[in-house]
Structure 1
Amino acid sequence: MLKNISVFFLVFFLCWSVSFAQTPHSSKNDSLKDIMSEINAHIEKYNYELAIDDSHYLLNKAKASNDYYYVSKAYNGLGHVYYDQKDSARARKNYSLGLEYAQKVENDTLLMDSYNNLGNIYSEIPETTNKGIDYYNKVINIANKLKAPAELIIPKTNIGWTYLDNGKYEKAYPYLNESLQLIDSLSQREDFDSDRNSYLFSQIYMLHGKYFTHTKEYDTASYFFNKSISLAIKDSLILPAVEAYKAYSEMLEEKGDFEAAYNAQLKYNEYNSKVFESEKLKQMEIANARFNINKYRKDLDVAEREQRYQDDIIEKSKEKVAVMVISSLILVFILIFLYKINRDRRSLILELKNKNKQYKEAKVEAENLSRLKTRFFSTVSHEIRTPLYGVIGLTSLLLEEKSLGKHKSDLKSLKFSADYLLALINDVLQMNKMESNEVILESVSFNIRDQINSILNSFEFTRVQNKNELHLDFDENIPGFLIGDSIRLSQILMNLVGNAMKFTERGNIFFTVKQIESNNDQSKLYFEIRDDGPGIPESKKKVIFEEFSQLDNSNYNYQGTGLGLPIVKRLLKLFNSEIKLESREGEGSAFSFTILFDVDTAKTENIELEENSVLNENSDQKSILIVDDNRINQVVTRRILEKKDFICEVAGNGFEAIELVKKGNFDLVLMDVNMPGMTGLEASQEIRKFNIEIPILALTAVEVEEIREEIHSAGMTGIIIKPYDVQQFYQIVYKNLSIQKMPEEA
């Protein structure tokens, strides 16, 4: 029975609708909002005849109900139609009427739309450019009153664009810069739709590129053009891609990079052909619409008279069928709504299952790739560090030979190059570990003054080469021993001091360490590295903290990878701190940060003196076994130890080392970890089966974090990383010999 009633209502409703099919809308109860949505849809599809038809219908209906809001919207819709058809006069007339009714409503959003539309009209005419800018400023005034920063982006961008088109670059830049800052700040919000705003992002980046092309800051211009092009390509934004490639090509040609300009021009032609096809289709639609509109205007008066007549008929018959129609609509709406909910629910569940499956597969693949990358970097690190150990070690030994005095300068350069290569390797590995979230801060006791002195000594060659003066201001109130990650702190300071050294010539570097807060258990330190070098331009202050970016400089002896400052920024984040930069071009730069350390109250200078005295008293010769499969490394390690009067014996593999320890009377074993046949770990485990007292120090070129647990599990006493600092190497050897000796004396 219910099914039969529903069919009757549907048949009656369709017949009633057909009887009035000649009208643009079937009911006077049509929502004004729905009509406006149809107008917008017609404009997007170039159905201008239907858009004008619906706009007049909306005008009549809105005026009849004194709804000035939709009267204004209808006039703006007509303005859009004529604007698309390049009929500026009619567009301006309708936009002005739209503004008139918007002022009556006093609706801020409507006013901003009307002002922006009129701004677009007047700003494109050279004689009325200032009038167009005045309308944009009215939009800005309303947005400021409403405290709506998102509404400021478009008018500010339009003003900047207008000034650029008229060659007023210095007036354009403040507006473009404010637009970029606004959209950057809004993009941090969770409700910000980055996909919908990609078009605007791309255009703003493109305009920045055009500005910096004018100022001949070509690197900055390239940076913004590339960001604009990347966004346009990513989101298939054809028109922004065309504009960006065209401006980019012109900039490269002006710069003199003709090959890159030619490639950019090819890209511009590729995307421009797509725009041409789209524009050709649009022009055909507009031409067809104009033909239909001309015919439509002739029949408009007749159609309006017929419409009024039909409206009278509908008004008289409406009361008789209202209940039936409303009932039918409600029933149909409920059925459709229930059906749609059920269909959408099944579709969403299926889509969610597919997405979850894809995400799981992508997660597994990403994890595998990350592991492979980490393993690759670890292997490469070991293979490069092992020969570097021989280079750095032999160079250090040759520097101490008095007979090679005339080659001292060359040897220093050789050692500097090897140290520089090692620093590059460490930077790349450090960035890789931080990207894989493998860096965890350690807590060890260290003497911060000794550490800083060691860092500054390592840059002595660079300081002399660049003819710089280094000034250290160390606060004497800082406790002697602190607890924290001294290795990560060294990496931060090495990068900052190295940066100051390489970008400054015949200048001064000021290194300041001050205690700004303290109590019995903690000490907060302020670090500052300041130079009087070339400084950093305002446009580069954000770029330098990005990976592989670097400022142009005249000191070509030390270019670097551009990883130093990004590593500093990420490491300081682990310390719950951040880097601060103060710089003016031509006046120098200052990098500063603060870190809170725990104070090692148990360790005192007296303890250190006692340990040193133990080493000094133990002056008899010690016997050390060197286990390494690399002959160059054997020679280097042996010569370094023999300079301190140690008696050394060498084993080329783990099997030979085990036999020598069984037969000999060694005070210490230096064991290479990675050896063919039997590894150093396996050899150490075998030695511990018959000798648990002899210290065994691991020699390895692998990162400590990767094998620390394995080394301790194998029974090794400590770790020495290759290539190592000679003085640090001696300290570790003496420390382990003294630890072995102290129980015997007790």
Structure 2
Amino acid sequence: MERIEASIKEYNYEKAIEDSHSLISLAKDADDQYFVSRAYNKLGHVYLNLDDSARARKNYTLGLEYARKCNNDTLLMHSYNYLGNIYSEIPESIDKGIDYYNKGIALAEKINDPVESIVPRANIGWTYMDNGQFEKAYPYINESLNTIDSTKDYYTKKERLDYLYSQLYMLHGRYYSHKKEYDTATYFFENSIRLAEEDSLILPVAEAYYEYAEMLEQKGDFEKAYRAQEKYTEYNSMVFESEKLRQMEIANARFNLNGYRRNLELAEKEKEYQEEIINKSKEKVVVMILSTLGLIFILVFLYKVNRDRQNLIGKLKDKNRQYKKAKDEAERLSLLKTRFFSTVSHEIRTPLYGVIGLTSLLLEDESLKKHKGDLRSLKFSADYLLALINDVLQMNKMESNEVKLENVSFKLKDLLNSIVNSFEFTRLQNKNEIQIEIDENIPAFLIGDSVRLSQVLMNLVGNAMKFTERGKICIVARQIECDGEYSKIYFEVEDNGPGIPESKKKVIFEEFSQLDNSNYSYQGTGLGLPIVKRLLRLFDSKIRLDSKEGEGATFSFSIKFKIDNSKKELPQIKEDVVESFNSTRTILVVDDNRINQVVTKRVLSKKDFQCTVAGDGEKAIELAKTNHFDLILMDVNMPGISGLEASREIRKFNKEIPILALTAVEVEEIREEILTAGMSDIIVKPYDVQQFYQVIYKHLSLKRLPENV
């Protein structure tokens, strides 16, 4: 048997047929039905390789008959599968082929041998899929994959196991591609390709790359489709060369086999019909002529195949050029969009700084008490507009993969209190109550991206506030793991609002998707929860939603932070001491916008800071040289000498003074430039007044404070 198999692999079909007939004769003489059946099956393989499906079917049928005679279940299952392969390839006999496959499966189930059911099940699925019946195909390919997973320890040859996995993964990829579930399809295609490439399975890897490229093109990912198509072309060329060699060998084998069959027939007839030798010689000439004609036909066929291949390669190159052009255009449009959003961000945030700042100051003016409601509405509208800008910019950045986490030290308690304070107007408007529960075991200082965490919580609290009226919102922070170096914290935002219907639980995490809201004064953009989902992905975390309609909603997630053991909680500074201390401090405010100058100066004057104003970078350098200042607030974008250039010049003669950058540009876009220019910290306009004071106090030296503070 091994000798026959080796001859088939070497395309030595004449030798394979000769050895198979010898084995049939010996087995029949020994009355060994088992080896007779196997020999006929080997003959079926040879004729199938020779594209002689009629003779292949005949020998497979004989193999099945002898398998039944010897009552060998394994032989029967193999014979059913071979005949299933023959009939399923013919459109008119697909049902008959599937019937043979099912007979093999039924026999495997009868003898409780799940391994033998894998191949016929996969073949049924493949047949249905090739005929466009994907839903009928899926149960078969899925059951085959599950069976392999549960029985893979029975396989002694890793190559055989990898081959089966590769083919089944490819079929799953085709199925999910048809369903347009592209992420799942990508997973199966990539695993199919990996296994096939590891074992140098050229034909399976070519098939997998072809289907993968088709899926990527359907998805619209033209760049990856282009690369997959290149790989398909590479492996298909190898398949073509192998097939060309096989066809040449087949042509030669057919020539020789015809001669072999002629000699065999002559030998058998010679015993009875010696007088017909001359006639048989004529037949030999006819056979040789026909074989030569057959060889010529094959050569012409190969020439046509090669010409068609060249045409396909030309079309592929044209397609690849189109893909590249589309990719370049998409990248150009993405860059233009990013630049547009960055410019719009700066141009809108700059006037908003004046609106929010002046409104905050007017709210503190007791003489305007009767206008306090209007001023709160004005500040709310400005804050809402700022939140809208931030949401759109955040979504744009995440789509461009520009968001990266920062690692800075922060105090969780202060962050949560700041978030609650920012919703005070909305809380009063909707008559809600906010409750904060912070676990006392949470370390005072943590290291992580406090800005992204704040964005997550702001969106969740804002969402709860928007949909809840005369209700209660609870914010929970609880430590669930701690090893001295890292602390894992569980966050929860709960409300007792209208809740979320089961049918909407997935929809709300999609961009621009909203639920019906009775609070018509606050409709939102539908970006909050999608932003939360994407930001938490950066933290290696997931958002969880528990809600029943009419019973409120609870959003929760967990994040692991590094503990900052280098910092300790500082005692609170008495307000009167701080104010007397501020009166001795002078601050240089550098800003080219007159309204922003007024706002910044008035905010600082509230805490009795002494302020000097410079309208451009050149004047700021001159004042810093000739006067003593304890701190400089420097606008980054100014005409003439920018804030970055001015900071570099000041650092040449004063390396100690804190220089804080004031900017309306997104921090991530300019952080590296700011720090390289020698600036100490960044304040993004428009800012929260209390956070603004905290940054100022942080960078002012506290050595001159009395000891009793």
TM interval, shorter chain, is: 0.5 to 0.7
Pick closer, same or farther for the CA change 1:456–1:35 going to 2, 3 Å. Answer: farther
Deviates more, 1:657-666 or 1:59-68: 59-68
Correspondence for 1:635 among 581, 588, 598: 598
1:561 aligns with 2:561: no
1:666 aligns with 2:665: no
SS at match of 2:447: strand
Deviation of 1:613 after TM superposition, in Å, equals 12
Pick closer, same or farther for the CA change 1:182–1:62 going to 2, 3 Å. Answer: farther
Instruction: Name the counterpart of 2:360.
Output: 396
Output one character per residue of 1:588-631: Cα deviation in whole Å (capped at 9) or x when no partner: 2222111111111111125x669999968845422222222222
Correspondence for 2:486 among 522, 525, 529: 522
Instruction: Name the counterpart of 1:650.
Output: 613
1:426 aligns with 2:390: yes
Instruction: Name the counterpart of 1:189.
Output: 188
SS at match of 2:512: coil
SS at match of 2:343: helix
Pick closer, same or farther for the CA change 1:680–1:142 going to 2, 3 Å. Answer: closer
CA contact (8 A) 2:409 2:564 kept: yes
**Partners in 2 of 1:668 and 1:148 — Cα distance?**
68
Instruction: Name the counterpart of 2:468.
Output: 504
Instruction: Name the counterpart of 2:660.
Output: 697
Pick closer, same or farther for the CA change 1:353–1:610 going to 2, 3 Å. Answer: farther
Runs of 5+ unmatched residues, structure 2: 1-45, 65-81, 106-119, 148-177, 193-207, 221-281
Instruction: Name the counterpart of 1:549.
Output: 513
Deviation of 1:393 after TM superposition, in Å, equals 0.7
**Partners in 2 of 1:113 and 1:481 — Cα distance?**
59
Deviation of 1:715 after TM superposition, in Å, equals 3.1
SS at match of 2:473: strand
Pick closer, same or farther for the CA change 1:326–1:487 going to 2, 3 Å. Answer: same
1:678 aligns with 2:641: yes
Output one character per residue of 1:434-460: Cα deviation in whole Å (capped at 9) or x when no partner: 222221111111111111111112112
Q: Which amino acid aligns with 1:639?
A: R
Q: Which amino acid aligns with 2:540?
A: N
**Partners in 1 of 2:564 and 2:575 — Cα distance?**
19
Deviation of 1:375 after TM superposition, in Å, equals 1.7
Deviation of 1:666 after TM superposition, in Å, equals 2.9
CA contact (8 A) 1:667 1:737 kept: yes
**Partners in 1 of 2:608 and 2:575 — Cα distance?**
18
Deviation of 1:33 after TM superposition, in Å, equals 13
Deviation of 1:570 after TM superposition, in Å, equals 1.3
CA RMSD across the alignment = 4.9
CA contact (8 A) 2:465 2:473 kept: yes
Deviation of 1:499 after TM superposition, in Å, equals 1.1
CA contact (8 A) 2:511 2:526 kept: yes
SS at match of 1:534: coil
**Partners in 2 of 1:609 and 1:684 — Cα distance?**
32
Q: Which amino acid aligns with 2:523?
A: Q
Deviation of 1:331 after TM superposition, in Å, equals 5.2
Instruction: Name the counterpart of 1:732.
Output: 695
CA contact (8 A) 2:583 2:609 kept: no
Instruction: Name the counterpart of 1:411.
Output: 375
CA contact (8 A) 1:76 1:114 kept: no
CA contact (8 A) 1:71 1:101 kept: no
1:370 aligns with 2:369: no
CA contact (8 A) 1:102 1:114 kept: no
Deviates more, 1:455-464 or 1:655-664: 655-664
Pick closer, same or farther for the CA change 1:69–1:708 going to 2, 3 Å. Answer: closer
Output one character per residue of 1:253-299: Cα deviation in whole Å (capped at 9) or x when no partner: xxxxxxxxxxxxxxxxxxxxxxxxxxxxxxxxxxxxxxxxxxxxxxx
Instruction: Name the counterpart of 2:454.
Output: 490
CA contact (8 A) 1:455 1:494 kept: yes
**Partners in 1 of 2:50 and 2:503 — Cα distance?**
46
Runs of 5+ unmatched residues, structure 1: 1-28, 37-53, 80-94, 121-135, 150-178, 202-226, 231-316
SS at match of 2:469: coil
Pick closer, same or farther for the CA change 1:448–1:145 going to 2, 3 Å. Answer: closer
CA contact (8 A) 2:84 2:97 kept: no
Output one character per residue of 1:476-512: Cα deviation in whole Å (capped at 9) or x when no partner: 1111111111111111111111111111222222222
1:442 aligns with 2:406: yes
Deviation of 1:736 after TM superposition, in Å, equals 2.4
1:466 aligns with 2:465: no
Instruction: Name the counterpart of 2:302.
Output: 337
TM-score of the aligned structures, taking structure 1 as reference length: 0.60
**Partners in 2 of 1:113 and 1:361 — Cα distance?**
36
TM-score of the aligned structures, taking structure 2 as reference length: 0.62
Pick closer, same or farther for the CA change 1:616–1:319 going to 2, 3 Å. Answer: farther
Instruction: Name the counterpart of 2:273.
Output: none
SS at match of 1:738: coil
Pick closer, same or farther for the CA change 1:476–1:31 going to 2, 3 Å. Answer: same
Pick closer, same or farther for the CA change 1:612–1:102 going to 2, 3 Å. Answer: same
Output one character per residue of 1:337-390: Cα deviation in whole Å (capped at 9) or x when no partner: 367358736863x56665665555544444333332222111111110011011
Output one character per residue of 1:397-437: Cα deviation in whole Å (capped at 9) or x when no partner: 11111111121111111111111111111111111112222
